[in-house]
Amino acid sequence: MGHLNIKNRLIAAPMAGISDLPFRSLCYQFGAGLAFSEMFLANEQIWHTEQSLQKMASKHELGIKAVQIVGSDPDEMAKTAELNVIHGAELIDINMGCPAKKVNKKLAGSALLQYPNLVEQILLNVVQAVNVPVTLKIRTGWDKAHKNCIEIAQIAQRCGIKAITIHGRTRECLFKGLAEYDSIKEVKKNITIPVIANGDITCPEKANEVLKYTNADAIMIGRAAQGKPWIFEDIGFYLENKSLKPEKNIDEVKQIVLQHIKSIHQFYGEKKGLLIARKHVFWYTQNYINSDHFRRLFSAINHATQQIDALEAFFCTITVKS
């Protein structure tokens, strides 16, 4: 991808409120070849805030420092890319796939797919502004009547974009129904830059199937990594050995969860860290018997050390759902 050496075909998706440094670190630890940051807004008025600073590249990043930016003004997007490169970003990804209303109403995210000329200007400005690879993430189109992912991908290639990720849904679909891969397959046939397939890749078998069907160069994992960041390790093992890796035992899972929650506390501080930890604990524990009661109790804990103690106690008593 440009001059960067991506060690494999497994990429962790940029997810708002999730893909922070502690989460990306786990994804890299368990075999992701690349892990994108959550969206960094092209808005100079908020660049000084703690929230924006936490989304920038970090010297503690285990892998490639990849930051995703979002916005609709070509000049602002270029400035945003420059800022992040100055602060250490080694790769810039442009978000034109987010379906959220609050993003789309500002003509950002997947709303841009309706305006190919504006897409082209944004891509040109960003590529010309930085000396690192620039990638693009899109959906198949705004709605089923206006699927234009091939057109957008060809524009991206002409503008110097180094790779394109395609989520196999339109903006209209949000995250409903099943992702389709025919569009991704067609894009791959019509451009020469790397294509990354995204959407509903939830297990090693599905990852293998999507790679074969679309002929994509890589796959991107999003929601399936929530509560299971070792999914990259599982997929990598399957692609290499054509067999499933043995599931992690309870003690192994416990150690991963504790590592993650402690790193959240350290990264955000206790006050914010407590809140961030709750959603991750929900995902980590949802497949265990009697976990509903535990999560209700966990949500009422107001001290970091008590969260760790509660998790220690929980993992000593749980059994896996049949």
* Amino acid (one-letter) located at 284: Y
Q: Which of 27, 98, 149, 159 is catalytic?
A: 98
Between helices 304-315 and 291-298, what is the axis angle to 10°?
170
- Distances from the Cα of 199 to the Cαs of 150, 249, 307, in angstroms? 17, 28, 33
269: Cβ contacts below 8 Å, ≥ 6 apart: none
Question: If you count DSSP H runs as helices and E runs as strands, how many of each does the chain have, helices first?
Answer: 13, 9
Distances (CA, A) of 293 to 261, 301, 303: 19, 13, 19
Known catalytic membership, residue 98 = yes
d(CA 196, CA 179): 14
The answer to whether 89 touches 58, Cβ cutoff 8 Å, is no
| Catalytic sites, residue numbers | 98
